[in-house]
Amino acid sequence: MVAGDPDFFRRLEAQQAPRYLWIGCSDSRVSANVISGLAPGEVFVHRNVGNVMANADLNALTVLDFAVSVLKVEHVIVVGHYGCGGVAAALDGKGHGLLDNWLRHVKDVAAKHARTLDALPAGARADRLAELNAIEQARNVCHTSIVQEAWAGGHPLTVRAWIYALHDGILRDLRFLVRGQADLQPAYRLSLGEDG
C-alpha cells in the first residue's frame, strides 16, 4: 500500500470516517474489507457467530451506537453467509455447550420460519435459514432505539440485509432495504417473498 500510495497510512491515522457499518459473522472466511473491496477506514465492522443483532447484546448495541451517533455512517448492512457453521449448529439438534445460549437467537428465527424451512430439502434449509437470519437481524437493527432516534432526527440511514456465497464470492441483496420506519414492513415482506 505504501508503494502505491505513500500517504495512505498518514491519512488513515488522521481520521476514521466510514460510510458503512458491516454486521457480519465471525467466520474467518468472511472478511468485510476483502468481500466488499473497501479499503481500511471505509467500513466499520462488528462480527459475531451468526451475525446476530440481539437487543440485549451490549457489545453490538455499543458498536451500532458508535457507528450511527459518532461516526455518522449512512449504511448498516447485516451480512449472512452460506455455509455458516453457526446456522448449521442451530439446525443440527445437537448440544454445543455455551454456544447454544448464543445460537438461541438463530434458533428463534428457525422456529419463526419453521413452515418455510420444513418444506425445503434438508440440504437447502441451512442456506435459507442463513438468508432469513440476515433479514431478521437487519429488522432487529431497525427496531433499536439507536436507529429509531437517528431516523426521527433526520439522519440519512439505510439498513440492508445481504448474503455472501463462499462458493462464488458473490454478495447477494436480500431485498431488505429500509430508509425509515415507513419502509420497514414493506421491505420485510418483500425480502421474505413467499414467506411474507
Active site residues: 25, 27, 29, 81, 84
Q: 83-125, pLDDT tens digit by residue? A: 999 999 999 999 999 999 999 999 999 999 999 999 999 889 9
Q: Is 86 exposed, middle or buried (0-12, 13-18, 19+ CB in 10 A)?
A: buried
Q: What is the reported pTM?
A: 0.92
Low-confidence stretches of the chain (pLDDT < 70) are 1-3, 8-15, 194-196
CATH number for 8-191: choose from 3.40.1050.10, 3.30.920.30, 3.30.1360.30, 2.30.110.10. Answer: 3.40.1050.10
Smallest CA-to-CA distance from 17 within 76, 74, 77, 59 is with 74
For residue 170 the three cell numbers come to 458473490
Place of cell 473497501: 38
